[in-house]
Amino acid sequence: MTTYIGFNTIDQNKKFTLVDFELIKRDLLNAFNIRQGQLPGRPDYGTRLWDFVFENLTQNTEAAILEEIQRVAGGDPRIYLQSVNLYPQDNGILIDVEITVIPANNSEILSIFFDQIQRTATFI
């Protein structure tokens, strides 16, 4: 049974409908790609992570990144954030997030790369 149904045109050729976990993943990635305050009418939507990608990765920066990930994931009532792991990379930051879909209790680890050069977040 399909619980969540949505529409997506990114990387789609003919079928624009996404359902359940695929829709949730796309919505989460959209939230990570939009800078906070850029969506008209929704000033709290999006993320401030892009402000941290270009900073040196200190304990304070890492704590701020983890807090921001929790804030963004907490904005989606369909998911529960289980854990977050942060790894510095040459051209950005790799973040592994384990999320559980509510009410199904399906858990999955998503690897999201925040690329400094392309200025995009992508699943890897």
**What is the extent of the structural domain holding 102?**
5-123
What is the domain count for the chain?
A: 1
Residue 61 banded pLDDT, cuts 50, 70, 90: very high
pLDDT of residue 1: 44
d(CA 78, CA 89): 30
Q: Which of 35, 37, 116, 25 is nearest to 79 (CA)?
A: 25
pLDDT of residue 105: 78
Residue 98: which residues within 8 A CB-CB, separation 6 or more? 81, 82, 83, 84, 107, 108, 109, 110
pLDDT digits (tens, 9 = 90+) for 41-56: 989 889 999 888 888 8
pLDDT digits (tens, 9 = 90+) for 80-124: 999 999 999 888 999 999 999 887 777 899 999 999 899 999 999
pLDDT of residue 2: 54
| CATH code at position 30 | 3.10.450.40
